[in-house]
Amino acid sequence: MPGGRRCPDCSSAALVEDSHYSQSQLVCSDCGCVVTEGFLTTTFADEGNLREVAYTRSTGENEQVSRSQQRGLRRVRDLCRVLQLPSTFEDTAVAYYQKAYRHPGIRAARLQKKEVLVGCCVLITCRQHNWPLTMGTLCTMIYADLDVFSGAYMQIVKLLGLDVPSLCLAELVKTYCSSFKLFQPTPCMPAKFVEDKERMLSRTLQLVELANDTWLVTGRHPLPVITAAAFLAWQSLHPSGRLACSLARFCQVANVDLPYPASARLQEMLAVLLRMAEQLVWLRILKLNKRSVVKHIEDLLQHRHTLIHKAFLDGTGEREAQARGLQPRMEEEVGGSSLGLPLGKRPAGPGILLPPCMLKPPKQPRLPPTVRTVTGDEDISDSEIEQYLRSPEEVEDFQRAQAAGLATKDAPNQP
């Protein structure tokens, strides 16, 4: 019972704190007059200083599910169903969305972000179950920009403190390759293009592993690598009928989008295969080039581990190569073997196994930076500062030019 207050009607001191629904009230138990609502004050002066807890700062918001949250949860479930995810995924994704919604930053975010958040929750769920869903696919499904998506994704991962595993490449290969329309004969496709799914899958997987080992996958978007690998696998399974087919045509026939970097990845993989082919005696004689090496991919894949060891120096060998002057030597190595030039009876010296970005020559020569001894407290000469100031004549000229510019801008608007 708060001290010092009396009912204004009956002046009784029997004031009781009672709640009308969830609103706290101070009621006189004698006459039933409501003295105050929502305040518990001791003196009149205090009343001015006390403030109720605003709804947005109370926990009331968390207990109720707002309409936009309901909409978001519905969209999460719909997205899971469209992607034909197992039902357990749905519950996990919904739980993530609810968890995210508890944070004030998300609750007050724009609708666009909330839409994207739906996709983020589904993606995190898929990643945790090793379900190969790429961000590109997800963004097309929720009609979102990849940059907006990436921002929201990074934020939500940090906010929820989650440890999201990386995309499982093996699963992605299986799912992506299964989506190729090459396994059933269709009238618009030559008969030689049809391929057995299992053979193509296993060979694509081996090629992707090879790319992973030779630094072609790290730091790059995974999908173009898989497209290039699938193309090579498909070509090598029946070279005579398929060598003439280009990568673009292959994607068209398979009813799959051609990702832009896929051709670059294809060239890189062919270069690696040619390098490996140099180590096999019977292939060295053949003087393979980028087209003919496809016929021998099966052999190369069979012995890929030993060939990579022989064809490339590993990490320890790298250091000697570096000390001896890396760039010019490597360039001739890469240039020589990829062009298939005969380099005498002996195989080309082992090249360096490095990511392609390290094999390219630097665009600008690396100049040693000039060391300037600056204390930060040097005197600043007046002349140096004055070079940045306009003289009065220049100011007038500038003002005149500005006025003239404005006039010409307004002129076409005049009737």
Partner 1 sequence: MEDTYLELYLDRCTAQDELPPPKSPLISLVGSYDVYLPNPSNPEMAFSSHLDVRESSGDFSSVDLSFLPDELSQENEGETVIGSVDKIDKTCKTPSPQRRSPSPMQQDVGLDLNGSGVPHSQAPLYLDNADSVQPSPEEPTSDPLASITPMKPMTPASECSGIVPQLQNIVSTVNLACKLDLKKIALLAKNAEYNPKRFAAVIMRIREPRTTALIFSSGKMVCTGAKSEEQSRLAARKYARVVQKLGFPARFLDFKIQNMVGSCDVRFPIRLEGLVLTHHQFSSYEPELFPGLIYRMVKPRIVLLIFVSGKVVLTGAKERSEIYEAFENIYPILKGFKKAAVSHSASHRI
Residues that bind partner 1 (CB under 8 A): 134-136, 146, 150, 153-154, 157, 163, 166-170, 208-209, 212-213, 215, 217-222, 305, 308-309, 314-316, 318, 322, 353-355, 357-358, 368-369, 371-378, 380, 384-390, 394-395, 398-399
Q: DSSP assignment, residue 130?
A: T
Q: In angstroms, give the least distance from the CB of 26 to partner 1.
A: 46
User: Cβ distance 227 to 251 under 8 Å?
Assistant: yes
User: Cβ distance 330 to 260 under 8 Å?
Assistant: no
Q: Say how far apart CA 344 and CA 13 lie, in whole Å.
A: 111
Q: In angstroms, give the least distance from the CB of 109 to partner 1.
A: 20
Which one, 221 or 290, has the nearer CB to partner 1? 221
CA-CA-CA-CA torsion sign (149, 152, 155, 157): negative
Cα 226 to the center of its chain, rounded Å = 17
| Sheet of 23-28, strand order | 15-20, 23-28, 34-37
Q: In angstroms, give the least distance from the CB of 377 to partner 1.
A: 5
Which one, 95 or 357, has the nearer CB to partner 1? 357
Which one, 295 or 310, has the nearer CB to partner 1? 310
Q: In angstroms, give the least distance from the CB of 374 to partner 1.
A: 4
Q: In angstroms, give the least distance from the CB of 342 to partner 1.
A: 27
b/e per residue 202-222 (b: at least 16 CB within 10 A) = ebbbbbbbbbeebbbbeebbb
Which one, 49 or 316, has the nearer CB to partner 1? 316
Q: In angstroms, give the least distance from the CB of 302 to partner 1.
A: 15
Which one, 64 or 381, has the nearer CB to partner 1? 381
Which one, 186 or 399, has the nearer CB to partner 1? 399
Q: In angstroms, give the least distance from the CB of 184 to partner 1.
A: 28
Instruction: Give strand pairing partners of 126.
Output: none
Cα 10 to the center of its chain, rounded Å = 70
CB atoms within 10 A of CB 38: 13
Which one, 188 or 385, has the nearer CB to partner 1? 385
- How distant, in Å, are the alpha carbons of 68, 89, 109, 126 from that of 159? 20, 21, 14, 18
